[in-house]
Amino acid sequence: MVNTNFSFELMAQSDEARLGRIFTSKGYIDTPAFMPVGTQGTIKGVFLDDIKRTGTQIILGNTYHLLLRPGIEVLKSYGGLHNFMNWKQPILTDSGGYQIMSLSKFNKIDLKIGAIFKSHIDGKKIILSPEKSIQVQKAIDSDIMMVLDECPKLTKDKKILSKAIHVSTNWAKRCKIELGNNKKKGLFGITQGGLYKDLRIESIEKLKDIQFDGYAMGGLAVGETQSNMFKILNETTRYLPQDKPRYLMGVGTPSDILGAVKEGIDMFDCVMPTRSGRTGLAFTWEGKINLKNAKFQKDKTPLDAKCDIKELNKYSKAYLHHLIKCDEMLASMLISLHNIYFYQQFMREIRTNIKNATFEKFFKKYINFFD
């Protein structure tokens, strides 16, 4: 185990694309980085030893879901989520802010208190205040914690977006106070403002005044077009501190990631690799492949001839097609693992091309490759 305070080193840059490294007490993370999503303390359908073999250096857990199950007391009894799920590398936890939006029919917002939920599991009343969110993340023993924020649904209404900035800034201050002086943990602020440049800059400046260890772009990947997402990143990412990691939450496809790296983003998470795996969709250097299609019924080639993790290169597309048609769970397990492996390959290629000052060529080749 590396005994170090949380820090970030910017190592190289190709235009706005950045090569860096995040240091935590559980190890370092090379950036740009992709974090597989383990919402409830597991990457769906994939063994953690195999996740590690893909080159994954950090995974994501979710404060709201882990608060409900298994709960703070169980997590404390294990000394945190790392021991509970047997993952010894860094963990980032979302604060529960996204669930305020995605489970809006179950909650209401009180600026002085926080979010008041009815559990989607049993209807029990749950209060998730900024302080409570940090307390849960402490119990999880997260290496990178996110402030509790209000993430509005996609809207053009500036009043709604301005209110979200006000609420989120207030909660961000309270989160930082609750965490206290803990140099081994990273605490990230989350910017809001929708697709409006002026609101995004306002949010960024308010968070910079509070001072965080990293900064996330929230309120994106909520239904806007890819071009609109890239546009607002292009207009506002430059206002984020150069010496802090930048995280685009909930993104995305390989093309989404590539375009956001070009605008200076360092960190990503998404359920895409495993969710696609469960539907028979594979990401490969040949492009996206829908293994449900009949044309793969007799295809003897593997998804990646070079991948020896779980000997994935021994499984033909025809066999995977067969498993899908038979509704065998092994299909989703193998394809999900392959997709995470591909995403980590993709991130390594991005980092290599930034280092070698060839990122622009790589970007042009692959930006529309997975459409």
> Is 269 part of the annotated catalytic residue set?
yes
**Count of C-beta atoms within a 10 Å radius of residue 28:** 17
Q: Using a CB cutoff of 8 Å and minimum separation of 24, what contacts does 290-298 make?
A: 291/317, 291/320, 291/321, 291/324, 291/331, 291/335, 292/321, 292/324, 292/325, 293/321, 296/320, 296/321, 297/321, 297/322
At residue 74's C-alpha, the angle toward residues 91 and 81, to 5°, is 10
Give the CA distances from residue 321 to residues 157, 313, 328, 369, in Å, rounded to whole numbers and listed in that order: 46, 15, 10, 23
Residue with the two structure tokens 């995470």: 340
At residue 138's C-alpha, the angle toward residues 123 and 176, to 5°, is 100
Rg (CA), the chain: 20
The DSSP code sequence of 8-42 is EEEEEEETTEEEEEEEETTEEEEESEEEEB-TTSS
Are 324 and 280 in contact, with CB atoms under 8 Å apart?
yes
Task: Kindly state the DSSP code that residue 248 receives in the 8-state scheme.
Answer: E
Are 106 and 117 in contact, with CB atoms under 8 Å apart?
yes
Are 151 and 219 in contact, with CB atoms under 8 Å apart?
yes
Helix (H/G/I), strand (E/B), else coil: 365: helix
Catalytic residue among 94, 141, 149, 304: 94
> Is 94 part of the annotated catalytic residue set?
yes
Q: Where are the alpha helices (DSSP H) in the chain?
A: 48-53, 63-68, 72-77, 81-85, 97-102, 130-140, 158-179, 197-210, 226-236, 254-262, 272-277, 317-325, 329-355, 359-366
b/e for 175-184, b at 16 or more Cβ within 10 A?
A: bbebbeeeee
Catalytic residue among 141, 143, 149, 269: 269
**What is the separation of C-alpha 186 from the centre of its chain, rounded to a whole number of angstroms?**
15
Q: Give catalytic residue positions.
A: 94, 269
